[in-house]
Amino acid sequence: MTESDSNPPMPPAPPRPELRRRARWLPSLVWLIPIVAAIIGLSLLIHTLSERGPEITVTFRTADGLAPGKTPVRYKAVDIGVVKSLRLARDRSHVIATIALSNDANSFLAKDTRFWVVRPRFAVSGISGLETLLSGAYIGVDAGKSDVRSDSFAGLEVPPAVSTDASGKQFVLRAADLGSLDIGSPVYYRRVRVGQVVAYQLEPNGQDLSLRVFVDKPYDQLVTANTRFWHASGIDIKLDAGGLKVNTQALATMLLGGVAFQDPDNAKAAAAAGEDTRFILASDQAEAMKPLDELKPALAVLNFDQSVRGLSPGAALDFRGIVVGQVRSIGIEYQRDKKTFRFPVIVELYPSRMGFSPRDLDDKQKTNDIAETMNRRGLRAQLRNGNLLTGQLYVAFDFFPKAAPAKVSVDGPMPELATTPGTLDELQAKLGSIVNKIDNVPFEQIGRDLRTSMAALDKMLDNADKLMAQVDGNLVPQFAAALQDARQTLQAANQTLAPNAPLQQDTRRMMQELTRSAASLRSLTDYLERHPEALLRGKADTEKP
């Protein structure tokens, strides 16, 4: 290969460009169309921006039923916005919905505005949201009234029980437990529904519960400082010494529960209570209607030695037909000195029902004097049977003048009052004594003696049978002969006593003679009465006329 073969020839240089002056540009009519379109689009954008309302964010626990660009926001069935976007929170505990409101929805930026997702719901307050089965879920709004504005809200999981524009008042109730109440449970006044339960929460102490109830206008004016609230939930069935008692506020409360309120019948007129006034929610109407001085009853202990079977907490404490308290608790205690058991019963006593004023019990010395006086007069607590069908017992206070002396004490934490055995226990003791005496009767010895006596009686009856046989053989013929002789004697007597019998004729003649003799004797007696001297001189021959 030569050097000329390894180096090819260079290409020719390009020609130099020719420079020319550019012609003047003139607009074309073709550009008129996009310019007009741009102007129209800009005007639409300006219009959209001018009509666009504020954007807010609402947090929900789940985005079930929500769709960006489709789910509307409605207030009283009017669309005021739409869900723009959905995103998950960083901690994945909830979702954040961005909502574009309409231009005229600025009033919904109040801080107390509430948002919730409307879905089909079945609750104690009723069935709601059925229209969403066809149209789909939407976000409901309850407009707030606060002057503070906000663009971030926490959505509710359930619809609010009462809207902000509802007329009425809310009150706070303190209760020991919730019972069968729930949000939406009705509130009754004299069995008329006037409100509902709107919220409840557990107090920080963990022992009490606070409920918020809403009473519609104008019924909210019926709530005063004297008003009493109580549970009207379900059926109130009470079985005690007084028998079976059934009470219910309304048929709906059997399933939904409820709250009832009313003023005591003897309460004085009072002004209407203000918003958020606090009340106590009693367990039942009887508890709620107790006088104020009975809300904190005096406690006392009764020590019984007999069985307390049939006695239960809540049993009545009776004083001659007047209920003066109730049983709170029943316990058991071992007495080491007596090596036996006793049953302390703690009772709630209302002294005002027995005629004692609080001033009588404020002084401890005066209280002790009253207790000692009642004790000396024989005041005792006794267990009695209140219902023979159920066997329920109650505690009765009464005076027993012949009761054994007992000791009362008011110096301890709770006054200790005297007790006496119940009549049923006394009857059982007497029956036990009778049974013990019956057990001591020697029934076996009596049975043996009875068998011996029966054998002797059988032997005696055999001898009597033999004797009667001898009597039939020996004495019967003689008796027959004696009877024959007696018959003959009677016949002879009959003949003697016959009217034509000689004896009867002789007797009649003798009677005639006796009659004549008696007449002569009467004549003689009459003569001697007239002439007594005849006894000495004799009878004169002739009488002078």
Q: Strand, helix or coil at 199?
A: strand
Query: Rounded to an integer, what distance in angstroms lies between the CA atom of residue 458 and that of residue 337?
Result: 63
278-282 vs 168-175, strand pairing mode: parallel
**pLDDT surpassing 50 at residue 544:** no
Q: Which tens digits make up the pLDDT trace of 31-83?
A: 777 877 888 877 777 666 666 678 899 999 988 888 898 899 999 888 889 99
| Rounded alpha-carbon distances, angstroms, from residue 140 to 112, 113, 124, 127, 130 | 14, 11, 20, 16, 14
Pairing status of strand 168-175 against strand 209-216: antiparallel
Higher pLDDT, 264 or 427: 264
Of 128-137, 191-200, 396-405, minimum mean pLDDT range: 128-137
Which residue in 370, 374, 346, 347 sits closest to 360, CA to CA? 370
Tens digits of residue pLDDT in 1-39: 455 555 666 666 667 766 666 555 555 666 777 877 888
Alpha carbons within 13 angstroms on the beta-carbon side of residue 108 total: 27
Q: Which residue would you say has higher pLDDT here, 36 or 497?
A: 36
Q: What pLDDT sits at residue 105?
A: 84
> Residue 185: which of 207, 153, 162 has the closest Cα?
162
Determine the pLDDT at residue 131.
63
Average pLDDT over residues 405-424: 79
pLDDT score, position 545: 44
Question: Contact at 8 Å (CB) between 141 and 115?
Answer: yes
> What would the pLDDT profile of 419-438 be if each residue is shown by its tens digit?
888 766 666 666 777 777 77
Q: Give percent above pLDDT 90 in the chain.
A: 13
- Report the range of poorest mean pLDDT among 111-120, 324-333, 345-354, 493-502: 493-502
pLDDT of residue 144: 87
Which pLDDT belongs to residue 356?
A: 75
Confidence band for 256, pLDDT divided at 50, 70 and 90: low
Read off the pLDDT of residues 303-336 as tens digits, 9 standing for 90 and up.
Answer: 888 888 888 888 888 888 888 888 989 999 888 8
| Long-range interactions of 331-338: CB distance < 8 A, separation 24+ | 333/303
Segment among 176-180, 358-362, 449-453, 478-482 with least mean pLDDT: 358-362
Tokens of 155: 């959505």
**What's the mean pLDDT when you consider all of the chain?**
79
Residue 224's pLDDT is: 92
Average pLDDT over residues 197-217: 87
Q: Which letter does DSSP use for residue 75 in this model?
A: E
Query: In this predicted model, which residue has the larger pLDDT, 470 or 415?
Result: 415
What Rg value do the Cα atoms of the chain yield, rounded? Answer: 60
Burial bucket for residue 70 (CB in 10 Å: 0-12, 13-18, 19+): exposed
Joined tokens for residue 421? 């055995």
Query: What is the reported pLDDT for 216?
Result: 92
Give residues with Cβ within 8 angstroms of 325, minimum separation 6: 297, 316, 317, 347, 348, 349, 350, 353
Q: Is the pLDDT of residue 171 over 60?
A: yes
Give dist(CA 362, CA 510) in Å, integer. Answer: 117
Parallel, antiparallel or unpaired: strands 78-88 and 95-102: antiparallel
Token digits of residue 208: 């009490």
Instruction: Please work out, in degrees rounded to the nearest 5, the angle formed at the alpha carbon of residue 289 by the alpha carbons of 287 and 293.
Output: 90
DSSP-derived pairing of the beta strands 259-262 and 186-189 = parallel
Closest CA to 182 of 256, 112, 246: 256
Q: Which amino acid appears at position 345 of this protein?
A: V
Contacts 24+ apart (CB under 8 A), 241-248: 241/315, 241/316, 241/385, 241/386, 241/387, 241/392, 241/393, 241/394, 242/316, 242/386, 242/387, 243/387, 243/390, 247/285
Q: Return the C-alpha torsion angle 115, 117, 120, 123, nearest 10.
A: -50
Taking the C-alpha atoms of residue 254 and residue 269, their distance in angstroms, rounded to an integer, is 33
**If you average pLDDT over residues 508-531, what whole number do you get?**
79
Question: One-letter amino acid identity for 293?
Answer: D
CA distance 3 to 15: 30
Contacts of 23 (CB under 8 A, 6+ apart): none
Q: What is the pLDDT of residue 221?
A: 92
Look at 22-26, 270-274, 315-319, 529-533 and tell me which has the smallest mean pLDDT.
22-26
Residue 507, CB-side half-sphere exposure with 13 Å CA sphere: 9
Strand partners for 344:
303
In angstroms, what CA-CA distances link 336 with 301, 308, 538?
A: 19, 20, 125
Give the residue, 113 or 462, on which the prediction is more confident: 113
Give φ, ψ of 132 to 5 degrees.
Answer: -75, -10
User: Which of 100-104, 219-223, 391-395 holds the top average pLDDT?
Assistant: 219-223
Burial class (CB in 10 A: 0-12, 13-18, 19+), 405: exposed
Which stretch, 149-158, 359-368, 370-379, 521-530, has highest mean pLDDT?
Answer: 149-158
**Average pLDDT of the segment spanning 294-298:** 67
Cβ count within 10 A of residue 368 = 15
CA distance 433 to 437: 6
Torsions phi, psi for 475 (to 5 deg): -90, -25
HEC secondary structure over 448-472? HHHHHHHHHHHHHHHHHHHHHHHHH
